[in-house]
Structure 1
Amino acid sequence: MAAVVGFLRRVQGGNVDTVRWRRRPPRPRLSRDRLNPLDLRTDDELFERYRFRRPTIMFIQDRKTHPSKRSLALSAMIQLLVFLRFVATGAFHQLVGDAIHISKATAGRCIRRVASAIANVAGRFIRFPSGQDATNVKRMFHAIAGFPGVLGCVDGTFIRIQTPTENELIMLNKLMFNLIIFQMTCDANFMVTNCVAKWPGSCHDSRVFRESVLCQQFENGQHNGILLGDSGYPCRTYLMTPYNTNDVRYRERYNSALCRTRVLIEQTYGILKRRFPFLSIGLRTSPERACQYVITCVVLHNIGILRQDIVSLDPRDLIIAGPDVDEINHGNNSGFGYRELIARQCFYY
């Protein structure tokens, strides 16, 4: 320090007060251009690799922008593309990072950061119909098979995960696979209107629905309409299930119409898993993070439907499952009489 002061006195003629210490302004943060695929590939090539075309990718990026405090940071667009590459392939983080020349750790941070940002806006894109939207949904379902007052179709599916470090037994299903169960409802346009992703593989679909917020809303009369489900669900005044026996003609017509309508939720699962194959392959992550990835993919699915950026599918590729064998009865038969009333009024001809 003494040497610096002596130097300044010689330069300024001995008057140290005349010297002003000026801090050098910080350098602006830079974003590396790591061969941005948007500038190198066509819309069809982007769709094959990232499951969305350029306008939809830009739409998603505008709604999840998050600044970085790092110098030479990855841009928000590159981070989004890393995440889309992951959900479109289900590859290891190392392979996803190699495709864009970043490290495995950086790819993992990008994937987690983008998934969290998209999941935070899930309420804007996953909404159960109400008001005029509910009226429009009822009209579309009525045009399909003649069911009155249908607000959606409900069903559950599962995703395989790696063996968790805690509570391993509750994740096992009857086939001894580690799974998480998630349940969705959809409208006639394959839009997901409700999603629950938090239950372990040992739970039944009926319990997932019974403990859901949507079930409580129907119990409290917040929705004026009904849901359609398979025979794995209990029959309620707001949840119609198929008959076990088709001994009467109108019951046969009722079951046929219900299956034609309820197949929409099976097709929605098929579209979702076709767009994001890692949901079919399985996730090598913790249950909590797997649930977040599921919600994120549902949000992206709805965005694709809204933007008409959809997957072209062969109908044979869709997952179409029949009703369960056993009908669930939880001691409340109030729905059976209402089901009989609907079957007689709408399908007795």
Structure 2
Amino acid sequence: MADAVAVIFQQRRCRRRKVPIRRVFNARISSIVVRDLDFVSRYRLDRVLFQNLLETVGQTLEKTYRGGHTIPPDTQVLVGLRCLAKGAFFSEVADTHGVSRSSVCRIIHGFVDAVIYNVDNIKFPVQRDDQMSVKRGFYRKCKFPNIVGAVDGTLVPILAPTANEESFVCRKGFHAINCQAVASSDLRFIDIVAKWPGSSHDAGVFDNSVLKDYLEADLEAVLLGDSGYPLRRYLITPILHPSNENEERCLHRSGGVLPFSPGKSCRFFLACCKLHNLCIDNNMPLPDAIVCADDQGIQQNQEATRPGLTTRAQYIQLP
């Protein structure tokens, strides 16, 4: 208590004399001092995967800050992972890692950009061998042939933007961005579209994606979607009122906001998807699944083509 009072009086004397107040930070944390047991719980990666990520983005993060002081790349990676893994306040992350709050703000944006530009692990399988591997995974799980992925949109809450604010209000009444994701049977992301405001419909996002153009030209690749998407030859959707067990077969797996602009929020979403794939590729255990009622309120999309109806009927008749 006495030490705290002494610090306060010293700060008051510095203000009266117009002497700059020297900021005092906690000891800067190092990856070496963190126990292996705590490393995964704090950063969602183990120590080996952390070192691999550091080697990938380390050179990009070597920046000199004002005054010539530098923050080591390993500390920047720890700060970035902590922010994305826990969604903690910048002040808390700053105190934990021995840096200032303003440094955390700079680090997290630099870390996200470094992951986006240096980690390239979101690729839609266009080669036949790659497609066959993905299709076999879906067939083993649900006995559906030719399925290369499951597509859905997710609403990521954000702060109200200053420009075009009304276009970011989603159907649930809050500001969000609508991000489309395609996942394979092993829960890897193979295609991401993160640029549309929350008022955009899932079907509209898909219709304006490059993926749709590719699927129209590919006669063998098929996606699974929910009832918000139109039924197509290459996009199978569920029947609204199934009458038997075959028609009921389907795949379906379903707090705060991102305090950034829509553009930065989209980049954060993309970086998290790439880090997720990195964990999948390195056999990191998945956290407990969170079931979200994100499809409540979506009306059945009645738009269907004759090839789509024919393809779905063929899937219904499969044993």
Alignment TM-score, normalising by the size of structure 2? 0.84
Give SS of 1:117's match.
helix
- Counterpart CA distance in 1 for 2:294 and 2:195 is 23
Greater Cα shift, 139-148 or 85-94: 85-94
- Counterpart CA distance in 1 for 2:39 and 2:147 is 37
Same amino acid, percent of matched pairs: 29
What residue in structure 2 maps to residue 150 of structure 1?
147
**Letter aligned with residue 341 of structure 1:** Q
In the TM superposition, 1:33-182 aligns within 5 A as: 35-65=28-58, 66=60, 67-70=62-65, 71-122=68-119, 124-129=120-125, 130-182=127-179
- Please report how far the alpha carbon of residue 44 of structure 1 lies from its aligned counterpart in structure 2 after TM superposition: 2.0
Q: Is the 8 A contact 1:154 1:227 kept in 2?
A: yes
What residue in structure 2 maps to residue 234 of structure 1?
230
**Letter aligned with residue 57 of structure 1:** F
Q: Is the 8 A contact 2:29 2:96 kept in 1?
A: no
Q: Is the 8 A contact 1:159 1:181 kept in 2?
A: yes
Q: Is the 8 A contact 1:244 1:327 kept in 2?
A: yes
Distance 1:59 1:163, change over 3 A: same
**Letter aligned with residue 206 of structure 2:** F
Give SS of 2:248's match.
helix
Q: Is the 8 A contact 2:232 2:304 kept in 1?
A: no
What residue in structure 2 maps to residue 225 of structure 1?
221
- Please report how far the alpha carbon of residue 158 of structure 1 lies from its aligned counterpart in structure 2 after TM superposition: 0.9
Matched, 1:245 2:257: no
- Please report how far the alpha carbon of residue 324 of structure 1 lies from its aligned counterpart in structure 2 after TM superposition: 6.8
Give SS of 1:308's match.
coil
Matched, 1:330 2:303: yes
Which residue among 307, 317, 321 is the counterpart of 2:282?
A: 307
Give SS of 1:156's match.
strand
- Counterpart CA distance in 2 for 1:338 and 1:34 is 62
- Counterpart CA distance in 1 for 2:311 and 2:73 is 52
- Counterpart CA distance in 1 for 2:204 and 2:63 is 42
Unaligned runs of 5+ in 1: 1-32, 267-279
Q: Is the 8 A contact 2:150 2:224 kept in 1?
A: yes
- Please report how far the alpha carbon of residue 213 of structure 1 lies from its aligned counterpart in structure 2 after TM superposition: 1.2
Determine which structure has more spread, i.e. the larger CA radius of gyration. 1
Which residue among 315, 340, 345 is the counterpart of 2:313?
A: 340
- Please report how far the alpha carbon of residue 322 of structure 1 lies from its aligned counterpart in structure 2 after TM superposition: 6.7
Greater Cα shift, 321-330 or 290-299: 321-330
Q: Is the 8 A contact 2:154 2:294 kept in 1?
A: no
Distance 1:203 1:287, change over 3 A: same
What residue in structure 2 maps to residue 263 of structure 1?
252
- Counterpart CA distance in 1 for 2:163 and 2:294 is 32
Q: Is the 8 A contact 1:186 1:194 kept in 2?
A: yes
Give SS of 1:303's match.
helix
Q: Is the 8 A contact 2:224 2:235 kept in 1?
A: yes
What residue in structure 2 maps to residue 196 of structure 1?
193
Which residue among 260, 265, 281 is the counterpart of 1:290?
A: 265
Question: Aligned-pair RMSD on alpha carbons?
Answer: 2.2
**Letter aligned with residue 81 of structure 2:** L
- Please report how far the alpha carbon of residue 139 of structure 1 lies from its aligned counterpart in structure 2 after TM superposition: 1.0
- Counterpart CA distance in 1 for 2:303 and 2:313 is 18
**Letter aligned with residue 68 of structure 1:** K
- Counterpart CA distance in 2 for 1:63 and 1:242 is 41
Give SS of 1:208's match.
helix
Give SS of 1:227's match.
strand
**Letter aligned with residue 237 of structure 1:** R
Give SS of 1:281's match.
coil
Deviations 1:239-280 (A, max 9, x none): 101112223x3xx31422x2xxx235x3xxxxxxxxxxxxx5
Q: Is the 8 A contact 1:152 1:227 kept in 2?
A: yes
